[in-house]
Amino acid sequence: MAETRAALRRHGAWAALAIGMLVPCAARPAEPATHLITMENMQFSPPLRSVRVGDRVVWTNRDLVAHTATAAQRFDSRSVAPNASWTFVAREPGRIDYVCTFHPTMKGSLVVE
């Protein structure tokens, strides 16, 4: 038992050292994430997505018809063909409502934090 405790202590020490080495990494800002949004069944899915400044948002068209992801003054994918994708990098915080300019019933929102 004593040996086990000693081993645990040793491991514990190593673990503490390892965590100590990791802390500076954790304190740095998170790496930009990539968020996937599909255009399918004439809908953006998910319709509402929260992202962080610097993150990439990729829209992929899974329908048989072309779509756009368009937010006035903010971004415009223009026509995204079936099976094609389009990427936007969020640069400023705020809520962005967007539509498919071809199909006005398709609506989505991004919340950039």
Q: Which residues bind another protein (CB under 8 A)?
A: 41-43, 63-66, 82, 102-106
Q: Are 69 and 59 in contact (CB under 8 A)?
A: yes
Judged by beta carbon, residue 9 or residue 62, the one nearer another protein is 62
Judged by beta carbon, residue 40 or residue 97, the one nearer another protein is 40
DSSP 8-state class, residue 63: S
Q: Give me the least distance between CB of 84 and another protein, in Å please.
A: 12
Q: Could you give the CA distance from residue 63 to residue 106 in angstroms, rounded to a whole number?
A: 13
Q: Could you give the CA distance from residue 78 to residue 81 in angstroms, rounded to a whole number?
A: 10
End-to-end CA distance of the chain: 51
Q: Give me the least distance between CB of 64 and another protein, in Å please.
A: 5
Residue 71 neighbours by CB distance under 10 Å: 17
Judged by beta carbon, residue 54 or residue 85, the one nearer another protein is 85
Judged by beta carbon, residue 4 or residue 105, the one nearer another protein is 105
* Residue 33, φ and ψ in degrees, nearest 5: -100, 165
